[in-house]
A = this chain, B = another copy of it.
Amino acid sequence: MEKLALGQLNKHLGYFLRRLQVWVFQDFIQRLGTMKVRPAQYSVLLIIEANPGSSQAAVGQTLGIERARLARLLHELERRKWINRHASGSDARKHSLHLTAEGEKALAKIKNLAEQHEAQLAERVGSKRHMQLMDLLRDFG
């Protein structure tokens, strides 16, 4: 079955962005299947690691994850004993997020797999193009 013409789709950055993003996430999910970690969970773990004691609101705003969704996502990470949330001293509404020792061990493994994923992605995309894309895309926030 030959591919069809893309027509006007060729002019839309969003289309190509989406196609590559889907490919990247599928590879990530497959590669981290053994740890049963999805991209959103991984990003949350990294943010907690880099910012111990953050509140859920801060994590959510940084990653663009909505409060309700993040609450459920964190509930799952807590159930797996990878994070804990104790009350923040300064503000009783906030939960202070930390990795557990078990969570740090798991994250070490996960980061290892994620690096393999990134290496495979760089190979698939071409390492030069990978760098160029990183430089172009990083300047958003």
Contacts and interface: CB of A to CB of B under 8 A. Distances in A.
Given A12-B114, A64-B19, A64-B22, A4 B137 contact: no
Interface string A38-70: 010001001101110010011101101000000
A9 B46 contact: yes
A3 interface: yes
A11 interface: yes
A130 B6 CA distance: 19
A133 B136 contact: yes
A73 interface: no
A118 B11 CA distance: 8
A130 B13 CA distance: 8
B25 A18 contact: yes
Contacts of A25: 14, 18
Contact of A50 (B5, B125, B141): B5
A79 interface: no
Contacts of A1: 57-58, 61
Nearest to A62: B4
Contacts of A141: 3
Contacts of A62: 3-4, 6
